[in-house]
Structure 1
């Protein structure tokens, strides 16, 4: 443990972090040393909501040792995709280190409704456990109980109990799902600005976590300005700020933006808004540094795993769209933060002692209103009006109200018990609901339970939606919208969740001298390949339910 709280937290303070990033931008990449037979540390970096097109699209503006470390000196896959159709945060995070799609893992979405009771379920919700030293709201993510499969960390810890597996994120699901059942997860608390674990993992925090939180590092960003990193002309390829479809709540929709503007003091609203800025990732990486230092990850003669999921880019893209200047600048800001973190790992763990992998949990759809200005078909599908239309049609045909219970994840949940109680044949109700959904604007396909449990592999999108379908948790009807259309819950911004390339195509990047080789690979691969590949590098068997393959990266 570091001797003083000031030294432990120095890099978390806004001024120190800014200085460190400035210095790193001109520091040449560290010269790698010879690699050991197996890495002492596997580091997975997840950029929530980062499409691959943003990495390659801004390549000429990247720092020398952030994303460029992978592109120039690592092994990277130009055509990596998720193969499941409902591309959302929890589903993506469940695939990365398990290699198993939601059809096996059970993590079908961020939230869904129980198909028997209709009650809401959160992907990492577990009322048996609470956050440590932080409030625990209903449906909070506190354990991996809903994850039906093992992760690479579970395999490691089973074979090497002395190894450590730590997951860190701005979101509970981003920390808990990669950490698996036998790791430890820490997540950012938007109510308090702290990082917390839950009682599933431990009764109380280690002293270093208590010290980190006691220094209130999030408060150092109060009133700090998010200003564009480059001159205005550098953003000509992106959509300017202040568009009517860009969400203006939170930190506003124009740069420069003051985080905490018009607030008297840090509080829950400020701590929440911090995540939708570059400073949210900066804070998360500061906590990751503290974990590496105090837990001595990669420095104890056994292999450890650290997963760091950076959440801010997802919030930025949701509010402003991936086509925006705000998203463009955020990508570049993130790139500089990654550079500083990687160089910290070089110095602390040793450049030949660890392997880096970087991916994303999903891509992003362009904002519909902007897409329309470009001559494309696009739009917003709103659940409430759609549910009313379907229920009205079903009531007119069968004489029973509310046969459609609600939308659940990527589907429409029908009340099967009600249909049986009224003497209705469920397949008739299902077929009628499917017909009504297909009449709605923006709907491309609707698949029934029988189709999803069948063996047809030729119908477009069916296999992708099948990989997202767990019949014990998912709605009976699964919906695919037309390209450019999104499930929408507010008037502006954008989202993800489709089986189209813009949502499935994400980075899959590796770096580690002596472990992964170098160069671009253009063969199409899947993110499900990540866990078996890292297993191969570390000399472990792949997780039991993994559906991917070892990409065999060793030079």
Structure 2
């Protein structure tokens, strides 16, 4: 897409031979990559087929059972854990959006990356801001310790760039619908100007169907999802000007990664007096997963393309001679569409019942108790809020009725109340052993989270109709949404695999140790992961 990166985009980078001794000096550049909706299951499924950048990382230090350990497995909270070392209960980022019934503005929904203090802001038309992020990021800590550090973020979503870069990055750019945009008032670097021109020209050209690799052919099965719509056989053909299809395709990640490479070159990241941080939020897998599911030709082609794109990116970095450290993980996993699960004998997989929502659960209870207005707010899972204007004995009766009605629904696994969640200590130990209450506690913020947190049963997709918009999603308490790979690579670092569970909050202290940055243990939830394959350690002494 861009010079000279674009010319090599179709090439795959081989995994480099690795030396026995770990590097002694801090890297000059940290590259932190988040692949949106890259579950541990998808990584394991395609790992044998990687030959480019993902193959290089898979031959590094591999933690195949990383956990976004909290219950709210969505994009914003997931990205907030990666470079803060903090779970959502500490970071304040409980979901992509939440309900604030006490706000005076008409729009009661708050978006995680908005500053609702700006006049006229709404959850759909907002000023992007890290206002809601309550903890410092790795980049902020690096800058505080070494002001010469540069922090640059490039992502497909504003919330990915914001939650990983935090306050006052040197540059933060994300896809704005027609091109890459940034915070209000930010001057556009020449790399972004070139990127936007190239993307505009690319979208204006029709794209033919992609060739299907041999290992993708078994996935070429049409799956009906209702309304005459099928998924599972797509190859990313699109007409000229189809911006939506561009975003839900491998083209999108190619543009994001190419801009990241251009920004590195323009700002000479890794060439200064201090270690720099380059953040990349690759968002296409999420749009593809929502649109087509995770098991068709669409995701197969996406994984093959992302592997090539990252391979070329790493080759470009190799050519600079810079000593760089890579970490790659995901903000959450994903659940394939129930229709395909049913075809494979997973008969308990289903869509949520049409009409099951907080509003519809609350309406008959409000009538029964003589309560005017909407009583219960939220969706059909996750946080639900009771109107704070309902008080006293009437509120107590309403809470009891709501809990009973929610628990009686055939697709609900658990209804957790504010009181019992707050009474649960912060979770410790292996994340796969946490109870549902502990998982909810890791996501819960008093004054922001709901009066109830509802967990649907495993394999229930909270989309009632797959023929309109998304066919599949994520966001559950269950491990198919919680488990993600965590991969580290650096030239000279001996690769190994640790199959035991770790958490994405462990990434910040691990990278901090790599560059000798001290982070007080009581300020984060994560722990340092030892990247030394032998008896030595890359972690500081306790």
TM-score by length of 1: 0.85
Aligned residue among 127, 141, 152 for 1:166: 152
What is the CA-CA distance between 1:301 and the residue it aligns to?
2.6
What is the CA-CA distance between 1:275 and the residue it aligns to?
1.3
1:257 has 2:236 as partner: yes
What's the counterpart of residue 395 of structure 1? 366
What's the counterpart of residue 407 of structure 2? 438
What's the counterpart of residue 316 of structure 1? 288
What is the CA-CA distance between 1:60 and the residue it aligns to?
2.3
Which range is displaced more, 325-334 or 357-366? 325-334
Aligned residue among 181, 198, 202 for 1:220: 202
1:513 has 2:488 as partner: no
1:244 has 2:221 as partner: no
What's the counterpart of residue 154 of structure 1? 140
Paired residue secondary structure (1:507): strand
What's the counterpart of residue 500 of structure 1? 478
Paired residue secondary structure (2:453): strand
Paired residue secondary structure (2:325): strand
What's the counterpart of residue 537 of structure 2? none
What's the counterpart of residue 430 of structure 2? none
What's the counterpart of residue 356 of structure 1? 326
Partners of 1:55 and 1:191 in 2: CA distance: 28
Map 1:82-101 onto structure 2 (within 5 A). 82-101=68-87
Per-residue CA deviations over 1:55-107 (Å, capped at 9, x if unaligned) read: 221222111x32111222x1111221121011000010000000111111111
Contact 1:46 1:361 in 2 (8 A): yes
Contact 2:212 2:235 in 1 (8 A): no
Aligned residue among 290, 298, 306 for 2:262: 290
1:479 has 2:454 as partner: yes
Partners of 1:82 and 1:223 in 2: CA distance: 38
1:405 has 2:376 as partner: yes
TM-score by length of 2: 0.87
What's the counterpart of residue 540 of structure 2? none
Paired residue secondary structure (1:447): strand
What is the CA-CA distance between 1:246 and the residue it aligns to?
8.6
Partners of 2:206 and 2:122 in 1: CA distance: 27
Contact 1:176 1:185 in 2 (8 A): no
Aligned residue among 235, 251, 257 for 2:216: 235
Paired residue secondary structure (1:424): helix
Which range is displaced more, 380-389 or 203-212? 380-389
1:535 has 2:524 as partner: no
What's the counterpart of residue 526 of structure 2? 548
Partners of 2:143 and 2:211 in 1: CA distance: 43
Paired residue secondary structure (1:362): coil
Paired residue secondary structure (2:223): coil
| Cα distance change, pair 298–365 in 1 and its aligned pair in 2 (3 A) | same
Partners of 2:366 and 2:55 in 1: CA distance: 58
Partners of 1:159 and 1:247 in 2: CA distance: 57
Per-residue CA deviations over 1:207-252 (Å, capped at 9, x if unaligned) read: 4433443x34342242123413413xx22553x3432129999x98
Aligned residue among 339, 347, 351 for 2:319: 347
Contact 1:529 1:548 in 2 (8 A): yes
Contact 1:452 1:465 in 2 (8 A): yes
Contact 1:115 1:474 in 2 (8 A): no
Partners of 1:111 and 1:349 in 2: CA distance: 42
What's the counterpart of residue 5 of structure 1? none
5+ long unaligned stretches in structure 1: 1-7
Partners of 1:212 and 1:300 in 2: CA distance: 24
What's the counterpart of residue 165 of structure 2? 179
1:209 has 2:209 as partner: no
What is the CA-CA distance between 1:129 and the residue it aligns to?
7.5
Partners of 2:100 and 2:117 in 1: CA distance: 18
Partners of 1:477 and 1:50 in 2: CA distance: 29
